[in-house]
Each structure stands twice: as C-alpha cells, then as structure tokens.
Amino acid sequence: MDYQTIRLTRTDGYAVITLARAGVMNALNTQMRAEILHAVKSAETDARCIVLTGEGKAFCSGQDLGDSSSVANANLERTLRDEYVPLLRAIFDCPVPTIAAVNGPAAGAGANLALAADVVIAAERAVFLQAFTRIGLIPDAGGTYWLPRQIGFARAMGAALFAEPVSARQAADWGMIWEAVPDDDFDAHWRRRAATLAAGPTVAYRQTKEAMRASFNNSLDEQLLLEAKLQGRCGMTRDFREGVLAFLEKRPAEYEGR
C-alpha cells in the first residue's frame, strides 16, 4: 500500500508507524484510519514489536474536524463502527507487543488510540485530553473502556466530564500510562524500550496479554486455570529452554519468538 498519511519503517526487529499529518496535529481522517489499520496488520506479520508515534509536535489531535468528508453530515455511529472499531481491535489484539510513543498532545480519539496500545510511553511535554464534551459528544474510540480500567471510575468520570488536560506526569502517577520521560531523552528511550521487546520472548508476551485481559472477567479459579494453560504453552517453547539455559550460563538470552 502506498501510504499518504503515515510512514511505516522497520528497524532492529520492530516496526514504527508514524502519523504524518503534522500540519493538522496528525488528526485522524478516513484515509489515515485505513492506512494505520493496514500498517498494523502488515507489520504484525514480521515485526516483534510495533510502535505508534506522531510526527512534529503532536501525537494525535483526534478526529479531523476540519475534514468536510469526515464531519459534514457524518454518521458518527457508522464511522466508529466501520472505521474506528477495526483499527482499535487491530492494535488491541495485535499478537506482538505494541507501544504508543506519545511525543506530544493526544486529544480525543487520539488519546484513546494511544491507550489501545499495550504500553504507553509519553514525553513530559505530552498531555492527554478527553475533549469530547467540549463539542457535545461522549468519549469514544475506547475511552469509556480504557479509562475506568486504568485510572478508576472517579478519575475517568472527571476526565470525561471536565475535559481538562492530564499531563504526562499525572497520567503516569494515575496509572493511565506506563511512564513519562524527559523530553530530551524521549526518542532514544522509547527506541530502547521497543528494541528490548523486539528481542524478547514473543510467545510469552502474547500469552501475558491474553491472561491479563481475561482477568477482568474471570473468577480466581478461572484465572488460575487459564494461567496454568498458558504457562503450559510457554513451557513448550524454544524461548523457555533458551531462557533457562541463559540463566544457568549467566549470559543474555537469545530469543527467537517461538
């Protein structure tokens, strides 16, 4: 696919999807959503980690309200169902670890696009803004799902109703994201994180994602049985044998992701 609104690059075992509409703070339109979806599905076939980041000063300002094709006479239900849902599911269900490297402001659907990733690393200059009520809408693109689970009901409701920016540092303190990083160190830091995941035990990462997400709906007994099942799968992998051998030989493990 010939991308017009994003860039897809591969390095050191991981893929980077860069939102590339810096002139509109990487706002999402129909074409960009389709291109991100395609890039995620393409990268997951050979990359061992996928990073989503933004070009310029912003990560993503959300829905492009200046795009007449996306806004004028828009059927918001259909747009969310047909365009956002497949994109968010692709990120959430990705078989390899995903990182949102939030380089600047993330607002509306842009904030929730980031929260769909497994790990969110933000520059300290970044802010997260559930801007929806400012234009008479409710949080969408997964916002009503991610936020209560990550920061609790009270904070999620406050963030949604008041539509006030949450700083990267505050987001980290609340548990909304994994970490906030000084601006000068941000690019090198997330690249180190991505390289670490790309060199790690991919099967174990995939089973970890499955187990963690299932825990919200399982009883203790159900979760313990699921852990046993998934651990059994991990125990059959070459990565497990290599990890044990490397531990015994006091050397770094060389994982193959199988």
Does residue 237 share a domain with residue 193? no
In a domain, 38, yes or no: yes
* Cα–Cα dist 186/135, whole Å: 32
Q: How far is CA 29 from CA 33, 80, 151, 246, in A?
A: 6, 12, 28, 47
242 and 151 housed in the same domain: no
- pLDDT of res. 187: 96
99 closest CA partner among 205, 216, 252: 205
Is there a single domain that holds both residue 221 and residue 138?
no
**Residue that is written with structure tokens 């990073």 in the block:** 51
In a domain, 57, yes or no: yes
| Overall domain count for the chain | 2
Q: Which residue has the tokens 């303190």?
A: 173
Per-residue pLDDT at 112: 97
Q: What is the DSSP string of the chain?
A: ---SSEEEEEETTEEEEEE--GGGTT-B-HHHHHHHHHHHHHHTTT-S-EEEEESTT-SB-SB-TT-HHHHTT--HHHHIIIIIHHHHHHHHT-SS-EEEEE-S-EETHHHHHHHTSSEEEEETT-EEE--GGGGT----TTHHHHHHHHH-HHHHHHHHHH---EEHHHHHHHTSSSEEE-GGGHHHHHHHHHHHHHTS-HHHHHHHHHHHHHTTT--HHHHHHHHHHHHHHHHTSHHHHHHHHHHHTTS-------
Q: Looking at the structure, tell me whether residues 50 and 158 fall in a common domain.
A: yes
**Burial of 30 from C-beta contacts in 10 A (0-12 / 13-18 / 19+):** middle
Q: What is the CATH number of the domain that holds 94?
A: 3.90.226.10
Query: Which one-letter amino acid corresponds to residue 83?
Result: E
Please give the backbone phi and psi of residue 121, each rounded to the nearest 5 degrees, phi first. -115, 125
Token pair recorded at residue 167: 């700083």
Q: Is there a single domain that holds both residue 16 and residue 119?
A: yes
Residues 178 and 207 in one domain: no
Nearest 5°: CA angle at 75, between 70 and 79? 65
- Per-residue pLDDT tens digits of the chain, which is 258 residues long: 799 999 999 998 999 999 999 999 999 999 999 999 999 999 999 999 999 999 999 999 999 988 755 555 568 899 999 999 999 999 999 999 999 999 999 999 999 999 999 999 999 999 999 999 999 999 999 999 999 999 999 999 999 999 999 999 999 999 999 999 999 999 999 999 999 999 999 999 999 999 999 999 999 999 999 999 999 999 999 999 999 999 999 999 999 876
Q: Which domain holds residue 51?
A: 6-198
The Cα 173–Cα 7 span in angstroms is 31
pLDDT of residue 1: 79
How far apart are alpha carbons 88 and 92 in whole angstroms? Answer: 6
Tell whether 227 and 118 lie within a shared domain: no
Angle at 122 between CA 121 and CA 125, to 5 degrees: 170
Q: What CATH number is attached to the domain comprising 224?
A: 1.10.12
What's the pLDDT score for residue 258? 65
pLDDT score recorded for residue 71? 54
Q: 253 in a domain, yes or no?
A: no
